[in-house]
Chain A
Amino acid sequence: MNRREALQRTALALGYAVTGPALIGMLNGCKAAPELNYTPQFFTPEQALLIAELAEVLVPKTDTPGAKDAGVPAFIDGILKEVYPQADKDRFTKGLTDFDEEAKKTYGEPFATCSTDEKIALVKKHHEDALSKSSGGGSVGWWRAGSDGGKPFILEMKELTLLGFFTSQAGATQVLQYNQVPGPYKGCVPLAEVGKAWAT
């Protein structure tokens, strides 16, 4: 079983699939001192800045809203505070600290204030590394990857970002499409007639 197969296997029950080569998208916008658009309840201001910038690298603003527009940083803050048990909180914050340490060591700056290219490069390194090590997970529940059974910080962050983003109004209605009341089910329709993927 190669890594790709392993990933596909893991991904199944959750509806994840691995497709396509890695291509890094171009980010819009120029470098500005990052600001928070909410008051964190769980993260320190420094941690919160990192989370916001990282979420935006994972799901950037393009011609449609990005993670920050969609309120993903506040969503992740809420999950950490209310949903995560203590052990997961500790693991996640440690992952976050290690990630930032590496940014400081490599670029001499905390992740949040690194340049866009630097941010992408660091994310790419962690992301590829994590996916190459991941080897199957549970068939129910959340992404569990990593040969040591742990969740690599970057994938956990990616999962939280996607969850927060695609359950947000912006993500569900502007990037994908959403209809609360679709009407009678039509089982076999040309994709061209439907357009984009359904958010749910």
Chain B
Amino acid sequence: MNLNIEAQKQNTYDAIVVGTGISGGWAAKELTEKGLKTLVLERGRDVKHQVDYPTMTKDPWQLPHGNKLTEEELKFYPVQSRTYWVNQANKHWWVNDLENPYTEVKPFDWIRGYHAGGRSLMWGKQTYRLSDLDFESNAKDGVGIDWPIRYKDLAPWYDYVESYIGVSGQAEGIPHLPDGKFLPPMELNCVEEVFRDKLSEKFGRKLTIGRVAHLTAPLPHDPSRGVCQSRNMCDRGCPYGAYFSSNASTLPAAMKTGNMTLRPHSIVHSVIYDEQKRKAIGVRVLDANTKEEIEFFAKVIFLNASALGSTFVLLNSISSSHPQGLGNNSGHLGHYLMDHQYRTGAEADVEGFEDKYYIGRRPNGIYIPRFRNIGNDKRTDYIRGFGYQGGASRESWARGVAEMSFGADLKKSLENPGPWKIGITGFGECLPYYENKVTINADKKDIYGLPTLNIDAEWKENEKAMRKDMKESAAEMLEGAGFKNVRTYDVADNMGLGIHEMGTARMGKDQKTSVLNKWNQVHDAPNVFVTDGACMTSSACQNPSLTYMALTARAADYAVSELKKGNLK
């Protein structure tokens, strides 16, 4: 009895954060900086900035097989390799699919990284704000439920997060793509500048350099991070800490407070709900190494295990008051799974500019903000819209395969950069559908004996109609800008491949139709906060991670003030 109390005391903290990815890192930083003794639980191994980036400075010839995975290695990644991105340089960041199974009713690519830092190590760093066009959309269109917040609620937190992580971008004054606290923009290249001017002239549309979480100037508050060197080897981990990752930024900040205990190899599988106290009191962890089951306790719990990871934990938190999972009294937990559709657009040849080139591998591209269903633009075939990402560049030596020459001639000609090409691909909004859902497979267990997720989701009519336009409008703009030989493409993508999966524990005003309130608290368990992509009420079309960070910082601030007021015990 005494022993138990002793153990419980040892395992008790002020706060628990589950997951160390983009959102969990922020929860850890904010809660520890506000003085809370915080246990941060991460299911994967620890990854220390710089120290644990084994390939960060490898040159192409130091990577085996031209960076291609061996047949043996590829066997571990039947799902992750659907992106075509898994290679020798980054293979250690993707989950072993054989050890982390799930089931797909319809194809759904669940692309993950289980290690400290989560996907903050591999992300593309594209960083955009949502606006009231997005926060009001559900209410206006009568789709799903209304967001319980508006842009003004999040704006100061966008400021706060951007200032801290460092976001490079160009202020454009576009109402529906609000400017942020920007570091200097990266440069467009000569062809992109032409495209920008033609788009404005012929279509009245904007093109801006991508807004990215890279340092283009030093951060006075964080001298440990350096300025981006245009290596474009980011997905290996950056030796300069020049792009934002939890590992380079938020986790070291949390560590510095002395208030963080980071426990790797800790798979959280459920929240402990105390029936007497009628509240959540902690989490259950399965130690991935010892397979031991351990309980940890805290007044406040932040779930940041990624959208589907956190939803899994909630669904799996069964108690007699919550037989369908914690936060599921509404029956909406696990539903409204969304993502962004992409990999359709157009590309073209560019005549001229043979005497122009660039220096550096810019880890960024161009961005064409949404122009559909805004102002006078009204589509009859679909609602919402999409943005484009892309860029122009000169062809590399790889063009040589199809060249008519070989031998010394070919070798000589490849010494010169190839012709310019330009391409754009759409990123389209997805509506929230009740039928797009995840549930628990009670009988299909993973290697730890834990239940697995079953994913059942698909693109529907609105997405399909939008997708057609994403392709056609891309071609129209490239043609209108005067580029040659315009070709469209549509590499039909499964849901999930956007790697922006979200929405399975949505925020809302009414606890009958939502899982979280406007502070990201679980309606049925207010000391449990979910601030990753699970909370999204609609998907907008912007890359979402900045919004997760802003929501996390905001919720952490609220949680601590509520704790101080004695409202969360």
Chain A: minimal CB distance from B507 (Å): 36
Residue of B nearest to A8 (CB): B485
**Given A185-B360, A188-B190, residue A141 in contact with residue B408 (CB < 8 A):** no
Chain B: minimal CB distance from A12 (Å): 6
Cβ of B59: which chain A residues have Cβ within 8 Å of it? 169, 172, 178, 180
Assembly CA distance A14 to B83 (angstroms): 15
Please state if A199 and B60 are interface contacts (CB–CB under 8 Å): yes
Q: How many residues of B contact A (CB 8 A)?
A: 71
Chain B: minimal CB distance from A176 (Å): 7
Please state if A185 and B395 are interface contacts (CB–CB under 8 Å): no
Chain B: minimal CB distance from A6 (Å): 10
A23 on the B face (CB < 8 A): yes
**Given A79-B68, A172-B61, residue A10 in contact with residue B414 (CB < 8 A):** no
Q: How many residues of A contact B (CB 8 A)?
A: 78
Within 8 A of A (CB), among B412-436: 412-419, 421
Please state if A60 and B407 are interface contacts (CB–CB under 8 Å): yes
Please state if B361 and A59 are interface contacts (CB–CB under 8 Å): no
**Given A79-B68, A159-B401, residue A16 in contact with residue B412 (CB < 8 A):** no
Cβ of A163: which chain B residues have Cβ within 8 Å of it? 66, 398
Please state if A12 and B347 are interface contacts (CB–CB under 8 Å): yes
Within 8 A of B (CB), among A153-200: 155, 158-159, 162-164, 166-169, 172, 175-176, 178, 180-192, 194, 196-200
Assembly CA distance A26 to B416 (angstroms): 20
Chain A: minimal CB distance from B54 (Å): 16
Assembly CA distance A186 to B398 (angstroms): 23
B193 on the A face (CB < 8 A): yes
Assembly CA distance A17 to B354 (angstroms): 15
**Given A82-B70, A186-B187, residue A162 in contact with residue B398 (CB < 8 A):** yes
Q: Among the interface residues B59, B190, B394, which one has the most CB atoms of the partner chain A within 10 A?
A: B59
Please state if A197 and B401 are interface contacts (CB–CB under 8 Å): no
B411 on the A face (CB < 8 A): yes
Q: Among the interface residues A15, A158, A159, which one has the most CB atoms of the partner chain B within 10 A?
A: A15
Please state if B64 and A194 are interface contacts (CB–CB under 8 Å): no
Chain B: minimal CB distance from A183 (Å): 6
Can you name 16 A-B residue pairings with CB atoms under 8 Å? A11-B402, A14-B401, A24-B405, A83-B69, A139-B489, A140-B491, A164-B66, A175-B411, A178-B59, A180-B59, A182-B230, A182-B360, A182-B361, A185-B358, A186-B359, A187-B192
Closest 3 CB pairs of A and B: A25-B408, A187-B187, A185-B360
